[in-house]
Structure 1
Amino acid sequence: MKTRLLIALAAMTFATCAMGATPVTLKLQKGTTTVPHTTPVGGAPLTSLEQDPAMAAGDADSGDGEDDLGGEPVVNRTLHHGHHGGLNSMGHATRAKSHPELKDGFEGLNFHDQRYANGGNQFSVEPPDQGLCVGNGFIVESVNDVLAIYDRAGNELVGPVDLNTFYGYPAAINRTTGAYGPSITDPSCYYDADTRRWFHIVLTLDRAGTSSALSGTNHLDIAVSQTADPTGAWTIYQLPVQNNGSDGTPDHGCTAGFCLGDYPHIGADANAIFLTTNEFALFGPGFYGAQIYAISKRALVAGDASPNVVLFNAGDPSVRAPAFTVWPAISSGGQYAGAHGGTEYLLSSDAVFYDEGTSNTIWLWSVSHTSAIDSAPMSLTLDVSAVGVQTYAVPTSLAQQKPGDAPLRDCFALTGCAPTYLGYPNIVYSTPRALAVNDSRMQQVSFANGKLWGTLDTDVLLGDGSHGSGVAWFVIDPKSGGVFANGTLALPDANLTYGTSAVTQSGRGVIAFTVVGPNDWPSAGYASFDAKHGAGDVHIAAAGAAPWDGFTGIPYLGDNRPRWGDYGAAAAEGNTIWTASEYIAHACTLAQYLTPPLFQCGGTRGALSNWSTRISRLQL
């Protein structure tokens, strides 16, 4: 899940260096063992209930929500980020004429996999988000709400596996009985080269029985592989994150009694696995700051019954720094920061906190003394400091697309088509529909070659003077807070969005993103990335085949934002970088869309969307 945020801080100042809040110790709850098995693909092409009523992210102006495909959303995540007049300059990049670094790639999970996994006992989910991790000859890809495991050649070994089944829960929706299983979202994955174990996390919202209503409790499910082979057994742990005093959690006083551990992400140092969340009220308005959880890596790998957990509430007033999407760093080669008894670094941005939506600061966080997490967990400490960078801004506009066949849109526009096949009135859209770019939250962070590497989306001015999206990138010295390199990657005629990066231990990396614009269908792109030369030219790893054609942004379907993603993913393995980007892999005409089996275009899409993912291998 992803929120849109506005917190006015005009009267607040932040310390250059501030000590964090007092840690709180928790205990994990060990659950069952799971083994990933492919679930059958099938089910009705369209049903009367396509969206999870609790997760359909509606806004105040998104319609009345009283439709058959989804209901009025229960989870309140509709805060809005700042607005601004745009930046004055465009980042520098050109389109590369060749892509010599690209070795190969393959189509990963797509909307058809997601919707029709587990016999079709799934909801339609958009956007997919992206979890990718790589190691020991395997690739694990996870999106909302399915998982697949591949070998290095792209052969699918297991999948699609719906995440409800993987975590041992009933189906998201049992279309025979009408019973609901827990609502799962926001998968992330990490392969730890040091321990040769896989870690996979999701946010799980519990139901009130088997009804669609949420009970209020929510937790992070943490799956830890028992060997270096992800196709084998995994141990499941649960970390309650409702933070209202129940289940051993602290009470953060969230509106209506329950907090929400939104947008979880994963990182690690030598001693601990780090999970971070954005804490919102679950049933009412309010943002309560990012949460940072440190969990004993040794205990997770050993399968201990109750590994130690240390929680830092970065939203505590004592922190005196804006804490939103505080992303923990990962290390690809088992090289970690050993200073101060073991240290994990994290990065965050703050433009979303300001009315003008711009900033020239990112925030460097560190959790030290991690080697004591088993013996003296209260000795872990949190520090944060401001890092001055080039100005970045929350992107202000939607991304236009190259025209092309978009059968869901065309069915809505064609007299009689939508009422007959979809059960909705006709709507005529401009051609083509635009899609949403990211805000300026921090994306994936790497610790490599003694440096911190990160990216975020930023507003840029395109060549025609209009606003667009580019990728701001940073290379930070975590010891001093100095900036080794910093810049903006952008094209004059297209948006680059959902930029994420991975970096080898020698300090060579790749930024991956989606390229979309008036001359581009959504395509999987990348650029080289290092501390000396910054970001290189834009390459296309896989060109889009058609426009995005999804249900978000359509009235009656519960969300007025035409959603494209929440985050991308990339992973370093030796001198190889693997990227996973959202793109459109297949074209489909309206005639093909209405050919039985309806809406599936030969198994390439579903009734309500056509997103796909591209996994690419780049040799450095």
Structure 2
Amino acid sequence: MSTRRGVVAAAALATVLGSLTLPGSASATPAPSTRHVQKVGTGSYKVTGTGTGEPASINTELPRDAGPEANELTRSTARRPAGAHRSLAGARSAGPAGPATSGGVIRNGPQLLHSFDGLNQRDQRTANNGNQFTIEPPDQALCVGNGHVVEAVNDAFRVFNADGTGQTGVVDLNTFYGYPPVLDRTTGIYGPELTDPTCLFDPATHQFFLVVLTLESTRDGDLTGANHLDIAVAADPTGTWNIYRLDVTDDGTSGTPVHPNCPCIGDYPHIGVDANGFYITTNEYAFFGTEYNSAQIYAFSKRALARGDADVLVTQLDTTGADRGRNGFTVWPAQSPVTSDYERAAGGTEYFLSSNAAEEATGTGDYVSDSIVTWALTGTRSLDSASPRLGLSNTRVGVRQYSLPPAANQKPGPAPLLECLNDDPCATFLLGAPDPFKPEVLAALDSNDTRMQQVTYTGGRLYGALDTAVSVGGATKAGIGWYIVRPGLRGDSVRADLTAQGQLGLAGNNLTYPAIGVNAAGRGVMAFTLVGDGYFPSAAYAAFDGRTGAGTIYLAKAGLGPQDGFTGYKALVGDPPRPRWGDYGATAVDGSNIWIASEYIGQTCTLAQYEATPFGSCNGTRTALANWGTRISLIKP
């Protein structure tokens, strides 16, 4: 990589396209702006050694501020973005729950073609000679094409064959993107922190796109406030990727606009494509405060990125006030399984879905809504020109009420980290003193908030899902709300009709972090984690039809034990703990079949086994402080 550090987006082009007034908006949204972004080098898989995963010091595994806001064991300093994943933080009460369809679970359903373990916590912690941190959650990314199955997590990357064998080994994301280690455990020098990986394969350009959010730090581990999106593009994921770097601080740095409360963090990036463009959306929070601004949309020419142009244009659109005066939140761009699905009207159009129940959108904390939002970005063919001219519009779609889901209870089982913290000699060995919060308990898992999850556009319909409280089996549980929307255009403005919707739950259990994949024939699956009275965290999915929605629930792989990671215990993250799960799942269409990615727990061991093997590894199946795994499965709808 020719440029290893710093932000290298060029100065602004100063192309201002004029203010846009959205249907139903209280006022005009901020004007779009276009600027240059430069290619900063290349990245690729590199062979690195494997470390032991030994937690030599809790101080280099846990930040001093690892409270409910913390999503990773990464920093020994207190300068962390206070607003990141703000809507997920802390204890909240579940919202009102509507009735849900209760599906029965079928094991080893005939639709499951292949299923194998992806990356796990031990893989990522021991990568790059062990110069990594213990991290929760994995935030699993998945993209598939040209015979390659690509998975990225916080903070590692690997390419698989369809049968689960490796085309590459495991490489940490810092090495892949050309950065120094997040912590060099020999010198004690910190590098940048990479998070929130997301990827897709574009069927038109036959390119893979992999995006991460990078937070810059000092050598001592203080986060500086500088952060950027690193965009990697390649035809062969086992070869060389071109890397572009987009500054998202929005404080005037590197040609960015000047927004309130900034420097800001470009949190929760997600990506999509249409016939002309490649799109990234973020949630913009103050980096060192709690303020939320709005969702940001970044639009590129996907052909310029696919060619590897040294200099490309990006147009940024701000959704402040766009939803009838509410700010956009998690405005998720659509991706399509085949090129014939792209919307070519209005000079090319990219669609998005979002929800509007979260505090970031409403300004209140009730997390209840009876509408979702359909967005259209028109004029995308102009992204190939020197002066992109884009229009953004949205409309609300009435749906059944959805609300904040409760935390997902876990089936009890062997949890050696929990048991260690409750055993004074073991806790003293791990922490340096007995656990002051003893007795620790097995905590319920975070069930997301009400934000939209992965969006697919095919056959003239948009498919999306979100987490919601549902009433099933006489109790309020975490479940899924799913939606099928038919969008259209009147001139440059979007209209949308709801063609089907539903809420899915399972009595006594929880369904979390849905992702819908639908093929060109309108048949698909909805992937999610299943956890509750009857199941350890498991990789599951439901049959999904383009007309009738979700059906029977299948198990791709049953979990073997409870989640037993550091974010669930007061001694390690403070009171109250917030047991982190994945912030999103993923699906990828491969011809008529669909790949799904799910976090689950693929190991189990006792306290005796934990104490008998080096560094709590349980015979190499976990690390001392976490035990998450991922599962990758191929489904024939």
What TM-score do you get using the length of structure 2 for normalisation? 0.89
Q: Which residue of 2 aligns with 1:350?
A: 356
Deviation at 1:555, TM superposition (A): 2.1
> Alpha-carbon deviations, 1:485-542, whole Å to 9, x = none?
1001111110000111111111111100000002210000000112322101111110
Distance 1:318 1:594 in 2: 54
Distance 2:192 2:137 in 1: 19
Distance 1:68 1:52 in 2: 6
Change (3 A) 1:452 1:430: same
Amino acid at match of 1:240: D
Q: Structure 2 residue aligned with 1:194, among 200, 204, 212?
A: 204
Instruction: Establish whether residue 391 from structure 1 lines up as the match of residue 401 from structure 2.
Output: yes
CA contact (8 A) 2:610 2:616 kept: yes
* Length, aligned pairs only: 595
Q: Which residue of 1 aligns with 2:16?
A: none
Within a 5 Å distance, the mapping from 1:137-216 to structure 2 comes to 137-208=147-218, 210-216=219-225
Deviation at 1:244, TM superposition (A): 0.3
Q: Which residue of 2 aligns with 1:11?
A: none
Amino acid at match of 1:527: A
Q: Structure 2 residue aligned with 1:608, among 614, 625, 631?
A: 625
C-alpha RMSD of the superposition = 2.2
Q: Which residue of 1 aligns with 2:533?
A: 518
Distance 2:548 2:298 in 1: 35
Change (3 A) 1:38 1:506: farther
Aligned to 1:123, the other structure's residue is in SS state coil
Deviation at 1:358, TM superposition (A): 1.0
Within a 5 Å distance, the mapping from 1:218-233 to structure 2 comes to 218-225=227-234, 227=235, 229-233=236-240
Deviation at 1:422, TM superposition (A): 3.7
Q: Which residue of 2 aligns with 1:313?
A: 318
Change (3 A) 1:412 1:84: closer
Aligned to 1:247, the other structure's residue is in SS state helix
Deviation at 1:404, TM superposition (A): 1.0
Q: Which residue of 1 aligns with 2:82?
A: 76
Distance 2:607 2:75 in 1: 21
> Alpha-carbon deviations, 1:402-453, whole Å to 9, x = none?
1111100010111311102343423444654322111111000001111100
Q: Structure 1 residue aligned with 2:285, among 270, 275, 280?
A: 280
Of stretches 121-130 and 345-354 in structure 1, the one that deviates more from structure 2 is: 345-354
Distance 2:284 2:61 in 1: 23
Instruction: Establish whether residue 120 from structure 1 lines up as the match of residue 152 from structure 2.
Output: no
Deviation at 1:70, TM superposition (A): 4.7
Q: Structure 1 residue aligned with 2:42, among 22, 29, 33?
A: 33
Distance 1:149 1:169 in 2: 20
Instruction: Establish whether residue 536 from structure 1 lines up as the match of residue 543 from structure 2.
Output: no
Aligned to 1:299, the other structure's residue is in SS state helix
Instruction: Establish whether residue 462 from structure 1 lines up as the match of residue 458 from structure 2.
Output: no
CA contact (8 A) 2:25 2:325 kept: no
Instruction: Establish whether residue 111 from structure 1 lines up as the match of residue 125 from structure 2.
Output: no
Amino acid at match of 1:586: Q
Q: Structure 1 residue aligned with 2:430, among 414, 421, 424?
A: 421
Amino acid at match of 1:341: G
Distance 1:68 1:200 in 2: 22
CA contact (8 A) 1:20 1:381 kept: no
Distance 1:189 1:439 in 2: 22
CA contact (8 A) 1:149 1:230 kept: yes
Q: Which residue of 1 aligns with 2:463?
A: 453
Change (3 A) 1:618 1:367: same
Change (3 A) 1:555 1:104: same
CA contact (8 A) 1:444 1:455 kept: yes
Q: Which residue of 1 aligns with 2:300?
A: 295
Deviation at 1:50, TM superposition (A): 4.0
Q: Structure 2 residue aligned with 1:589, among 578, 592, 606?
A: 606
Deviation at 1:355, TM superposition (A): 3.1
Instruction: Establish whether residue 580 from structure 1 lines up as the match of residue 615 from structure 2.
Output: no
Distance 2:461 2:75 in 1: 47
Change (3 A) 1:375 1:69: closer
Q: Which residue of 1 aligns with 2:542?
A: 527
Q: Which residue of 2 aligns with 1:252?
A: 259
Q: Structure 1 residue aligned with 2:245, among 238, 243, 248?
A: 238
Aligned to 1:408, the other structure's residue is in SS state helix
Change (3 A) 1:230 1:394: same
Deviation at 1:315, TM superposition (A): 1.9
Change (3 A) 1:80 1:202: closer
Distance 2:344 2:454 in 1: 21
CA contact (8 A) 1:84 1:358 kept: no
Change (3 A) 1:88 1:317: closer
Distance 1:292 1:153 in 2: 36
Distance 1:132 1:429 in 2: 38
Distance 1:113 1:510 in 2: 28
Instruction: Establish whether residue 508 from structure 1 lines up as the match of residue 518 from structure 2.
Output: no
Change (3 A) 1:238 1:544: same
Amino acid at match of 2:446: A
Distance 1:371 1:140 in 2: 29
Q: Which residue of 1 aligns with 2:383?
A: 373
CA contact (8 A) 1:53 1:73 kept: no
Q: Which residue of 2 aligns with 1:7?
A: none
> Alpha-carbon deviations, 1:280-334, whole Å to 9, x = none?
0001120000000001111101111111101001125697343111100011222
Deviation at 1:15, TM superposition (A): 5.3
Change (3 A) 1:80 1:275: closer
Deviation at 1:88, TM superposition (A): 3.7
Amino acid at match of 1:99: G
Aligned to 1:400, the other structure's residue is in SS state coil
> Alpha-carbon deviations, 1:541-597, whole Å to 9, x = none?
100001110000322423621111211111111111100100000111111111232
Distance 2:326 2:618 in 1: 50
**Structure 1: runs of 5+ lacking an equivalent:** 1-13
Distance 1:382 1:68 in 2: 38
Of stretches 361-370 and 318-327 in structure 1, the one that deviates more from structure 2 is: 318-327
Deviation at 1:53, TM superposition (A): 3.7
Deviation at 1:460, TM superposition (A): 1.1
Distance 1:130 1:435 in 2: 17
Distance 1:265 1:80 in 2: 17
Distance 1:362 1:73 in 2: 35
What TM-score do you get using the length of structure 1 for normalisation? 0.92
CA contact (8 A) 2:25 2:321 kept: no
CA contact (8 A) 1:582 1:611 kept: yes
Q: Which residue of 2 aligns with 1:441?
A: 451
> Alpha-carbon deviations, 1:81-134, whole Å to 9, x = none?
775642142333222365111112100000001111101100111011110000
Of stretches 561-570 and 318-327 in structure 1, the one that deviates more from structure 2 is: 318-327
Aligned to 1:169, the other structure's residue is in SS state coil
CA contact (8 A) 2:592 2:636 kept: yes
Deviation at 1:376, TM superposition (A): 5.0
Distance 2:23 2:307 in 1: 40
Amino acid at match of 2:556: A
Distance 2:371 2:630 in 1: 32
Aligned to 1:540, the other structure's residue is in SS state strand
Deviation at 1:40, TM superposition (A): 1.8
Amino acid at match of 1:379: R
Of stretches 417-426 and 151-160 in structure 1, the one that deviates more from structure 2 is: 417-426
